[in-house]
């Protein structure tokens, strides 16, 4: 996750740096470092931030489950944890899902695919659009 994406997620959640640090269980200094690009955002922080953004988004939007969007066969559905858990809007968050017809072995590889997916984009828009007053918190 790039520094701009991390800042975008924080703003979408409507949180200050101090508040997001508390929610994510990290320090204010770490949040500042992520947003300045001095430190990379660790995978566990990225996953949690995206999960919170998806939860907030899901409150306002109804999305079609991934297996409907991707037209997964019954065989794949029965083997996929997203279908088993009825979490088709969180397929990108759940390890072991059948993305592109096969299980992805790492978070990084999975996120490469998910960032191109309409299911992910419907709940986790990581493209920071020009916000009114952006940069003036």
pLDDT in tens, 30-63: 999 999 999 999 999 999 999 998 888 776 667 7
Query: DSSP E strands: which ranges in the chain?
Result: 98-99, 102-103
Within 10 angstroms of residue 34's Cβ, the number of other Cβ atoms is: 28
Q: What share of the chain is helix, strand, coil (3-state, %, to 5)?
A: 55, 5, 45
pTM assigned to the model: 0.72
Q: Quick one: which of 97, 91, 84, 96 has its CA closest to 121? A: 91
The percent of residues in the chain predicted with pLDDT above 70, rounded, is: 88
Distance between CA 100 and CA 5 in Å, rounded? Answer: 25
Mean pLDDT of the residues in the chain = 83
Q: 22 Cβ partners below 8 Å, 6+ apart?
A: none
Region 84-94 average pLDDT: 87
- The CATH number assigned to the domain with range 1-59 reads 1.10.260.40
Q: What is the arithmetic mean of pLDDT over 71-77? A: 89
Q: How far apart are the C-alpha atoms of 12 and 6, rounded to whole Å?
A: 10
Every domain of the chain and the residues it spans: 1-59, 61-127
pLDDT at 49: 92
């Amino acid at each position: 996750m790039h520094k701009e994406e991390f800042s975008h997620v924080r703003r979408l959640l409507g949180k200050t740096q101090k508040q997001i640090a508390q929610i994510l269980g990290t320090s204010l200094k770490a949040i500042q470092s992520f947003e300045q690009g001095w430190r990379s955002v660790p995978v566990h922080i990225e996953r949690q931030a995206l999960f919170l953004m998806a939860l907030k988004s899901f409150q306002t939007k109804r999305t079609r489950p991934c297996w409907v969007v991707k037209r997964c066969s019954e065989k794949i559905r029965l083997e996929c944890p997203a279908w088993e858990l009825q979490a088709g809007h969180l397929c990108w968050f759940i390890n072991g899902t059948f993305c592109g017809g096969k299980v992805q072995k790492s978070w990084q590889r999975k996120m490469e695919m998910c960032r191109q997916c309409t299911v992910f984009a419907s709940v986790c828009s990581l493209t920071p659009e020009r916000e009114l007053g952006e940069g003036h918190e």
